[in-house]
């Protein structure tokens, strides 16, 4: 390992970028902590994470889709319909960027301690790709294909159609050709593994998980 000249203080390397955006006050940190599963310390860690992520791809100080993908799956080389949808939900005011408050509140949904009922509702919104308030067959099909793709399973169209048909009939208990929230909740209760994507275990200890988010640059472990 090199002996980098220790004279160069890291904070001096890029002063403008670090100070461009106002750091939220302690009050905002504690408000977010009270609204979510995170402690005040964890919200502060998330703020550092937010800042790092926000300049990782597009250096504009906001989190964009690529950054979110990296945060959730720790890689940035796969496009994912799942991440697209999560991004849409995180991006509450739909301007293509996620602000810090939305980031913390949305991540909290994926916290291991968040009640299943909350995850279930959020998952329903994820699948309702076209925001109709129902999951239609086509939407289910797109998500099935996406989830299969993420698990690197390659199935023929026929097999996918069969899976979708079978699943759809099972979920659409009332048989009206679309899945409502009630049918969804009944189905997920019977098939809890559907919510697997809705929990990110490392959020249990954000402060510990944090160093692994650092993107190949200086790890500020000395501050922790």
Judged by beta carbon, residue 40 or residue 173, the one nearer Ca ion is 173
Residue 206, token pair as written in the block: 């954000």
Judged by beta carbon, residue 70 or residue 184, the one nearer Ca ion is 184
Q: How far is the CB of 175 from Ca ion (least distance, A)?
A: 7
CB 126 within 8 A of CB 194: no
Judged by beta carbon, residue 25 or residue 175, the one nearer Ca ion is 175
Taking the C-alpha atoms of residue 112 and residue 45, their distance in angstroms, rounded to an integer, is: 18
- Cα angle 45, 15, 67 (rounded to 5 degrees) comes to 45
Mark 115-154 with x for binding to Ca ion (rule: CB under 5 A) and - for no binding. -------------x-x-x-x-x------------------
CB 63 within 8 A of CB 103: yes
The reply on whether position 172 binds Ca ion by CB under 5 A is: yes
Mark 59-98 with x for binding to Ca ion (rule: CB under 5 A) and - for no binding. ----------------------------------------
Judged by beta carbon, residue 166 or residue 174, the one nearer Ca ion is 174
> Residue 194: how many CB atoms within 10 A of its CB?
18
Q: How many residues lie near Ca ion (CB under 5 A)?
A: 8
- Of 218, 81, 219, give the one whose Cα is nearest residue 139: 81
Judged by beta carbon, residue 30 or residue 138, the one nearer Ca ion is 138
Judged by beta carbon, residue 176 or residue 205, the one nearer Ca ion is 176
The reply on whether position 166 binds Ca ion by CB under 5 A is: no
Mark 98-117 with x for binding to Ca ion (rule: CB under 5 A) and - for no binding. --------------------
Taking the C-alpha atoms of residue 38 and residue 48, their distance in angstroms, rounded to an integer, is: 14
Mark 42-61 with x for binding to Ca ion (rule: CB under 5 A) and - for no binding. --------------------
CA terminus-to-terminus distance, the chain: 22
The reply on whether position 176 binds Ca ion by CB under 5 A is: yes
Q: How far is the CB of 107 from Ca ion (least distance, A)?
A: 25
DSSP SS3 for 188:
helix
Burial per residue of 141-169, b for 16 or more beta-carbon CB atoms within 10 angstroms, e otherwise: bbbbbbbebeeeeeeeeeeeeebbeebbe
DSSP state of 10: G
Binding site for Ca ion (CB under 5 A): 128, 130, 132, 134, 136, 172, 174, 176
């Amino acid at each position: 390992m090199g002996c980098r000249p220790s004279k160069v203080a890291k904070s001096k390397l890029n002063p403008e970028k670090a100070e461009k955006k106002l750091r939220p006050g302690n009050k905002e940190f504690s408000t977010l902590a009270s609204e979510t599963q995170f402690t005040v310390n964890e919200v502060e860690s998330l703020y550092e994470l937010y800042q790092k992520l926000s300049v990782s791809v597009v250096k504009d100080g906001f989190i964009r889709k690529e950054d979110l993908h990296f945060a959730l799956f720790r890689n940035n080389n796969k496009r994912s319909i799942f991440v697209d949808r999560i991004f849409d939900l995180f991006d509450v005011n739909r301007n293509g960027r996620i602000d810090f408050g939305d980031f913390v509140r949305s991540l909290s949904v994926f916290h291991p301690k968040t009640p299943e009922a909350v995850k279930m509702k959020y998952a329903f919104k994820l699948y309702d790709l076209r925001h109709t308030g129902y999951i239609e067959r086509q939407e289910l099909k797109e998500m099935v294909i996406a989830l299969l793709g993420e698990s690197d399973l390659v199935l023929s169209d026929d097999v996918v159609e069969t899976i979708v048909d079978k699943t759809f009939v099972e979920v659409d208990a009332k048989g009206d050709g679309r899945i409502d929230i009630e049918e969804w909740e009944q189905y997920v209760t019977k098939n809890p593994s559907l919510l697997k994507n809705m929990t990110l275990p490392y959020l249990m200890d954000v402060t510990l998980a944090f160093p692994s988010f650092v993107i190949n640059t200086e790890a500020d472990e000395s501050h922790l």
